[in-house]
Structure 1
Amino acid sequence: MCELLRAVLDGDEKADLRQLLDQLRANHRDQYFLKNQILQAFEDYCNNYQKPAYFSRTSALGELIHYTHEIILEKESVWFIVRPKIASQDICRLPTDLSRVESMPVEAWLNLQDRFISNKTTGLSDSPNGHEGTVATSNVLEIDVRPFYESFPTIRDPRNIGKGIEFLHRYLSSQLFANTKSGRDNVPSQQWLEAFLDILQRSEYEGTPLMINERIHSTTELSQQVKRALTFVGERPADEPYEQFRAKLQVLGFEPGWGNTAGRVRETLELLDRLIDSPDHGVLDAFISHIPLVFRIVLVAIHGWVNQEDTLGRPLTASQVVYVLNQARSLEKQLQEDIKLAGLDVVGVQPKVIVLTRLIPNSEGTKSHERLEKIHGTENAWILRVPFPEGNPNVTQNRISRFEIWPYLESFAQEAEKELLAEFKGRPNLIVGNYSDGNLVAFLLARRFKVTQCSIGHVLEKPRYLFSNLYWKDLEEQYHFSLQFTADLIGMNGADFIITSTYQEIVGTPEQWGQYESYKYFTMPDLYHVVDGIDLFSPKFNVVPPGVNERVFFPHTQSSDRDSSKTEQIKSLLFTHEDSQIMGYLDDTSKRPILALASLYPSKNLTGLVECFGQSPDLQERCNLIVVTGKVRPEEAKDSEERGEIEKFQQLIDQYNLHGKVRWLGLRFTTPDSGEVYRAIADCGGIFVHPARFEAFGLSILEAMASGLPTFATQFGGPLEIIQDGECGFHINSTDLAGMAEKLLQFISRCDQEPNYWNEISQRSIKRVHDKYTWKSHTKQLLGLAKIYGFWNYASVENREALLRYMEALFYLCYKPRAEQLLQKHMQQ
């Protein structure tokens, strides 16, 4: 039961709560209120009734309102969703006389939302008689994954959510060594040790056995032979190559994979010896990092233009393609290092990374029609393109929107299975899905191959579109959320582990729900109720942020790595060059430049930045605004959203008379040129502004910071964790235009007063990225996760199998029928 509500009802502020609710009923047509509306209504109430300053925050009612995220008003009841702490919600119902408070189950809340939507649709203002407040479920499917997680270990402290691998190391070490603590045989412990031995015995590469051979039959023999092998390698020079004593180790039961020198072999065997005899999660972590278990990796990225060079990703999907290609390069490099250290290069082990995407016959000048393309800067990393094998050629021969791609994913996975087997000459060891569609395909492939699956959501659409689940029927024709949200549930629950870029991507902040948290429970009226859609405390969640390509995005002061002619060319484009794809000119190019670089879509809020600039004469007097987008003309827009933003941009320039103060570049810079764009602005003491309304992570923010450009980014989403406000950049509320302008001006003024201040922020930005956001760190963590979760899920396969079967049922009962309906529509186009 919600203690915050009880405190108000039992205290002196009950009358204030009643008046606030009466105010909501009287002043608003809608009876469903979200956090921002609730906060605004409370602020208005405090002002109208001249409440003292402390009342809005420290009173019992103020505290309740601060933690209230949703309110629904019915004729006879008031419902509250109160979130007193991260990842924990209370559903409470009060009668209109506020005489008591009841704690309500999730099912009741979902039924209430269904009634609300039904009433809105039929035009009724109140609930039907006899139905208000009932708990009985509607005649729809209920999805509940909670029973499947009950047998899994769980994190208890919300602060440790996203640190799954740390938790799992501790848990596994305690399981492996339960018998050493009890002093007697322990069956679970023996089970885990035998599973560990089995994994080492099964290790192979194209038929070549690795790690342990048939001479070792039991965990007891393993312990004995490890000690013998340690004595043997301990007598040899540390730098002696493995090949010189390989045969002797094989007689003892050990195949290649322990190290490339006697010293490395001894180090790895010592870790295993300690792992068998002593309970220590740190040793488990170190041993797992030493042994080679992953050689072949698939990265699934379907809906974007997965290309290289100047066509990289196209504007809408450029960031995801940059991410996936950089990840592929880094994974191959790390695998090569690991294989060499393990001594496997001498037996011909070679890593291979494949980015799996779709083949697009009408490729519009890209290489999307080519089946196989080597990834630049790699030895054995490839883009493998597989066509959609069914449907209307008018649809499948062309690029398909991420909202329309769903009917083709099952057959794509079936064809991809054949292609991957041919390319790898065997099964992959790890499949990594990207976005909703890629994660569904990764689930289907991982089930077929019986290998470890990683899920990376990047952006989940459900929390991006307000009330998208409640009004899914109205949005279905355009967005097909019934398919997307079902795919998300399957992908995230089916995955062995989930990677997020930030903590708040999982569980948000005290003020805002996390992206994954939004899948905890929700209704899609007349389709299904999700009573429990994801376990946020599961150790499958891990925060592993990406890095930046340090060869491309490096500090502007690193002059030895810069091409002076390219720098001058970029500066000319930014400041003076005339071109049909460049609009606007600058009266005074000596002013401090403000740079924004993104695609022109409402979520990126570039027009909000232009309006902010237009409303601030002080900013106009002291700065120039330079905005880089993919297009500047409405007729070039791909859809109505982009067209609307282009037209709004043009209108704002005229409305605020920004001629001579704004440069608008509709150019597509290559990735290397983008790095020089940031550095060119930094050369001029400029600023980078990322004004998105919400940003799941923000790769361009890292790129700008790595280049040494002081960065201002939205406080809503990933930038809240990337940037330490006032230290290595600044948070902005991009919906508060006046506040955003004021924060920019404060920085500029301080730079004028303290000549070294700009450089201080620049250097801290560079250090922040270098210390925390590197691809090497990302890749080492990812491979460590793949190994430990592979072991965990191998040893606990019976527990996971029930959940995976449940996800398969969801696929065939909910997803596939609706995908087939969409396919029939496509056939008629």
Structure 2
Amino acid sequence: MSYTIEAVLNSAEKSDLREFISELEASDKRYLLRNDILNAFHKFCQQKDDPQFESSSRLGKLIYYTQEIILDEESICLIIRPKIAQQEAYRIFDDLTVEPISIPQLLDIRDRFVGRHHPEEGDVFEIDFQPFYDYSPIIRDSKNIGKGLQYLNRFLSSKLFQDPNQWLEALYNFLHIHRYNGVTLLINGRIANRHQLSDRVKQALNFVGELPSDKPFEEFHFDLQNLGFEPGWGNTAGRVRETLEILDELIDSPDDRVLEAFLSRIPMIFRIVLVSIHGWFAQEGVLGRPDTGGQVVYVLDQARSLEKQLKEDITLAGLDSFKVKPKVIILSRLIPNNDGTRCNERLEKVHGTDNAWILRVPFREFNPNMTQNWISRFEIYPYLETYAIDAEKELFAEFQSSPDLIVGNYSDGNLVAFLLARRLKVTQFNVAHALEKSKYLFSNLYWQDLESTYHFSLQFTADIIAMNAANCIVSSTYQEIVGRPDSVGQYESYENLTMPDLYHVVNGIELFSPKFNVVPPGVNENVYFPYTRHEDRVPNKIEKLEELLFTAEDPEFIYGKLENPNRRPLFSMARLDRIKNLTGLAECFGQSPELQERCNLILVAGKIHTSGSTDNEEREEIEKMYRIIERYDLYSKIRWLGIRLPKVDSGEIYRVIADRQGIFVQPALFEAFGLTILEAMISGLPTFGTQFGGPLEIIQDTVNGYYINPTNLKETAQKLLDFISKCDRDPSYWQQISDKGMERVYSTYTWKIHTSRLLSLARIYGFWNFTSSEKREDLLRYIESLFYLIYKPRAKALLEEHWQR
């Protein structure tokens, strides 16, 4: 039994528990999530004479750890999370006896709650990945989740130490396979086996040790070749010596530090595919459209930074003179009806790069009414298998070889990454950006009611397939994986779940696997930089954007006329959808006369006319925004811009707001990471970010920004007013927070840091993939079974629906 329940039952608070259960049973709600539970307990505690009971009682501690309560006919079920990445479930009966509930039993209870439990028809299909992770080391302490690289390094180096012959053989074979366009790299046939490798390394060290450190590799290339060493060890004698010394140490006395240092120098990544499928992927005219926005910015910036880092690595490896050139391809979808974008072009070069490209592959023309047009990310799944087959041919045509690394993005891109990696036998990385399951409460439980709109059965199955198939999962934050002490992480929510009448997931992901790594994205420093860097700003652009933000009139894309444009601007920029919650910010502003007296609200948000949107959720938010503006009479205090900005303009807009000592507010109901927060902070804007999601790991509250609870409008308004009042009393305070925000981004969130880390991961996991490929085969076969027996029939059924449109 949970010690938190036992502590209550063995104390005088046993009667309080009975009383609280009675109050819950008397209410209308039968399924309570954490916020519901806390609110109900707060109301219960208000009836007590003891003001400390809520925070200091044993029952209060039990309630704090309780994530869900299900009121069943004969009992109450508590799902308790005593620590991060651990869950327990118990049934409490009327007489306060307690019995534990297994995961299969808990999933049956959830099915019964929605009337979908049919024991007379037999058991539902169970998905359990637990047995397939026996090939992998498992992290013990939850605080090390997300640090898979260093854990895997320790594991691999210990294997080298414990069984040197086997692992030296693996290392020798790994060094022997590397080629680039037919050019042998690292070692050749003159080193015939693992026994010779150690001896030849020492001979090579003696040779290069006598050369000047700055002697170019080309001048002693043939001498090393005679010893069995090909290009790739370094561009100078000094660099070659350093690399061989690391290998020598790794052979003689391996440890995790040495292994990472060595593999990080190995030239094994030249061709990278970044998969971002679901559409409107271009460099102009796409931001703010449904399904794009932050993901497009992230992938484009990542591609530029990866190419730059690869070129640096190739130079240091001494491969410039061998015509080795990196190539990065962003794989997306070609949309024939391109709506004025470049999304109908097969190939588009990424601005600011030498050899990074957007490669667009069309969906096969099953139904031209669908496949000629943009398709929502919720509807895209029937086309992904054939897309992966076609994309494989297109990628080979571009690379003239297989890629070295495939990085998926979002649910659809990650599934395509799996299909490609499986066929090509290359390393697969996943990036989720956001998992829809966390955005839509009870989305798995009520999937049948939501299926016609969201098709969660396909999306959640695709997530389970891709996250288990991936060699490495790259997350932006720790809490994206396993949440916080008081909240469940996005990946953790897949640990067990029910899709009633479809399947039960008993163990959907191993959270303690070393595949998880926290590698936050950076911010494009060429576009987003401090407002104080006047030498890099363009006066004409500043004037135009000031006019656009504060005074211009155009009913096509501007709503609102400021009665006093000189008030301090509250600024936000995001898609106009429910999760981004810009309507919530407008409501917060509308409910606070004091905020209206002291500030203007400036929103850059997609569109201002429902006729211009094809997205149902966006249209609903547009209509809601108009209702809020009318209800609170905000027309003269708000500027709502429905525009798509070129990237350079989006960077300058933050700085224009900062010129006026404005404030950036990110009010999302949930934000997986928060790229706009980085953009605002590096520009110098004091930033208020949602406390639900990634911003909690970017912002340090009251140090370099502020947390807000966007569901508590009164509290949010008061936090903004408190900051403004501090700035009025002390004019330097705005600057202090501004400076601290910029410092935070430069120290932690640059693309240089991100891509260096990502490529280190690619090399380590590439080596791990090479040495454990046979042990993963049973896992991959199980994944394929889910794909062909569950995913594919449902995708086919959706395709048949599309034929009718």
* TM-score bin (small chain): over 0.9
In structure 1, what is the Cα distance between the partners aligned to 2:444 and 2:566? 50
Query: 1: distance between equivalents of 2:801 and 2:477?
Result: 38
Asked if 1 retains the 8 angstrom alpha-carbon contact of 2:480 and 2:491, the reply is yes
Q: Please give the secondary structure, in 2, of the residue aligned with 1:648.
A: helix
Query: Does structure 2 conserve the Cα–Cα contact (< 8 Å) formed by 1:691 and 1:734?
Result: yes
In the alignment, which of 663, 670, 677 is matched to residue 687 of structure 1? 663
- Partner residue of 1:140 out of 124, 140, 143: 124
Which of 676, 699, 713 is the matching residue for 1:737?
A: 713
Quote the Cα distance in structure 1 between the aligned partners of 2:621 and 2:798: 29
- Aligned mates of 1:104, 1:145 — CA distance in 2: 20
2:688 is paired with a residue whose SS is strand
> In structure 2, how many angstroms separate the alpha carbons of the residues matched to 1:625 and 1:738?
16
Q: How far has the Cα of 1:762 moved from its partner?
A: 0.5
The 8 Å contact of residues 287 and 645 in structure 2, kept in 1 or not, is answered as: no
Q: Deviations over 1:58-117 (max 9, x none)?
A: 11100000100111122222211000110001111122210x222221000001111111
Q: What is the aligned counterpart of 2:206 among 221, 226, 231? A: 231
| Structure 1 residues 102-137: Cα deviation after superposition (integer angstroms, max 9, x where no partner) | 222100000111111117xxxxxxx99xx8xxxx99
Deviation for aligned residue 1:634? 2.4
Give the match for residue 47 of structure 1: 46
Q: Check conservation: 1:86, 1:510, Cα contact below 8 A.
A: yes
Matched, 1:211 2:211: no
Contact 2:291 2:377 in 1 (8 A): no
How many angstroms apart in 2 are the aligned matches of 1:275 and 1:427? Answer: 30
AA of the residue aligned to 2:496? Y
Equivalent position amino acid for 2:754 in 1:
H
* Contact 1:306–1:313, Cα closer than 8 Å, also in 2: no
Alpha-carbon distance between aligned partners in 2 of 1:670 and 1:85, rounded to the nearest angstrom: 45
Question: Which residue does the alignment assign to 2:761?
Answer: 785
| 1:473 matched residue in structure 2 | 448
Q: CA deviation at 1:173?
A: 1.0
> Partner of 2:89: helix, strand, or coil?
strand
Q: 1:433·1:455 contact (CA, 8 Å) conserved in 2?
A: yes
- Residue deviations 1:547-572, cap 9 Å, x none? 01000000000000000111111111
Pairs within 5 Å for 1:377-396:
377-396=352-371
Q: What pairs up with 1:330-349 in 2 under 5 angstroms?
A: 330-349=305-324
What is the alpha-carbon distance in structure 2 between the residues aligned to residue 413 and residue 151 of structure 1?
28
The yes-or-no answer on 1:578 pairing with 2:583 is no
**TM-superposed deviation, 1:616:** 1.0
Query: 1:796-828: CA deviations, max 9, x gaps?
Result: 122211111110111001000111111111112
Opposite residue 690 of structure 1, the aligned amino acid is Q
* TM-score of the pair, normalised by structure 2: 0.98
- Summarize deviations over 1:561-591 as a string: whole Å, max 9, x none: 0001111111111111111211111122221
Could you tell me which residue of structure 1 aligns to residue 35 of structure 2?
36
**2:735 match:** 759
Residue type of the partner of 2:141? D
Matches of 1:102 and 1:297, distance apart in 2 = 52
Deviates more, 1:214-223 or 1:467-476: 214-223
Partner of 1:85: 83
Task: State the percentage of identical aligned residues.
Answer: 61
Within a 5 Å distance, the mapping from 1:394-473 to structure 2 comes to 394-473=369-448
| Structure 2, unpaired ranges of 5+ | none
Aligned AA (1:79):
C
- Is the 1:316–1:599 contact (alpha carbons within 8 Å) kept by the matching residues of 2? no
Would you say the 8 A contact 1:435–1:458 is kept in 2? yes
How far did residue 304 of structure 1 move? 2.7
Return the letter of the residue paired with 2:41: F
Deviates more, 1:261-270 or 1:600-609: 600-609
CA distance in 1, matches of 2:513, 2:404: 23
Residue number in structure 2 paired with 1:21: 21
Per-residue CA distance 1:237-259 (angstroms, 9 max, x = gap): 11111000000000000000000
Aligned residue among 168, 171, 177 for 2:152: 168
Alignment partners' CA distance in 1, 2:275 and 2:147: 24
Match of 1:769 in 2: 745
| Residues 263-303 of structure 1 deviation map (CA, whole Å, 9 limit, x = unaligned) | 11001001101111112211111111111110000000000
Give the match for residue 182 of structure 1. Answer: none
How many residue pairs end up in the alignment?
Answer: 804
CA contact (8 A) 1:332 1:351 kept: yes
RMSD of aligned alpha carbons: 1.3
Q: 1:122 maps to which residue?
A: none
Aligned to 1:796: 772
CA–CA distance in structure 1, aligned partners of residues 767 and 254 of structure 2: 17
Larger deviation, residues 759-768 vs 68-77: 68-77
Residue 520 of structure 1 corresponds to 495
Distance 2:664 2:368 in 1: 43
8 Å contact kept, 1:301–1:435: yes
Provide the TM-score with structure 1 as the length reference.
0.96
What does residue 719 of structure 1 align with? 695
2:541 equivalent in structure 1: 566
SS at match of 1:602: coil
Distance 1:347 1:31 in 2: 68
Write the mapping of 1:795-814 to structure 2, written as runs, cut at 5 A: 795-814=771-790
SS in 1 for 2:348: strand
* Matching residue within 523, 530, 535 for 2:505: 530
Q: 1:706 to 1:439 in 2, by over 3 A?
A: same
* Large movers: runs of 4+ above 4 Å: none
8 A contact 2:584–2:667 mirrored in 1: yes
Q: CA deviation at 1:40?
A: 0.9
Counterpart CA distance in 2 for 1:660 and 1:404 is 40
Pick aligned residue for 2:457 from 474, 482, 487? 482
Is 1:698 aligned to residue 674 of structure 2?
yes
Q: Which amino acid aligns with 2:569?
A: P
Aligned match of 2:241: 266
Equivalent residues of 1:275, 1:284 under 8 A apart: yes
Q: CA deviation at 1:138?
A: 5.2
- CA drift at 1:487: 0.3
Letter in 1 for 2:3: E
Q: For residue 688 of structure 1, report the CA deviation from its aligned partner.
A: 0.4
Gap change, CA 1:660 and 1:501, over 3 Å in 2 = same
Shift of 1:649: 1.2
What is the CA deviation profile of residues 336-378 of structure 1, one whole-angstrom value per residue up to 9, with x for unaligned ones? 0000110111111111110001111111111111111111111
Q: Show the counterpart of 2:575.
A: 599
Q: In the aligned structure 2, how far is the partner of 1:515 from the partner of 1:539?
A: 17
SS in 2 for 1:310: coil
Question: 3-state SS of the aligned residue for 1:118?
Answer: coil
Q: CA contact under 8 A between 2:288 and 2:575: conserved in structure 1?
A: no
Provide closer, same or farther for how the CA distance between residues 313 and 39 of structure 1 changes in structure 2, counting only shifts above 3 A. closer
TM-superposed CA distance for 1:313, in Å, is 6.7
Moved more, 253-262 or 12-21: 12-21
Residues 9-32 of structure 1: CA distance to partner in whole angstroms, max 9, x if unpaired?
12111111111111111122x321
1:632 corresponding residue in structure 2? 608
Do 1:304 and 1:321's aligned partners in 2 also have CA atoms closer than 8 Å?
A: no
Q: String of CA shifts for 1:513-550, please: whole Å, max 9, x gaps.
A: 10000000001111000000000000000000000100
1:545-560 alignment runs, 5 A limit: 545-560=520-535
Could you tell me whether the CA contact under 8 Å between 2:161 and 2:254 is conserved in 1?
yes
Q: Cα distance 1:617–1:652, how it changes in 2: closer, same or farther (>3 A)? A: same
Amino acid at match of 2:112: R
| 8 Å CA contact retained: 2:291, 2:376 | no
- Paired with 2:680 and 2:691, the residues of 1 have a C-alpha distance of 17
Partners of 2:231 and 2:672 in 1: how far apart?
43
- Residue of 143, 149, 153 corresponding to 2:133: 149
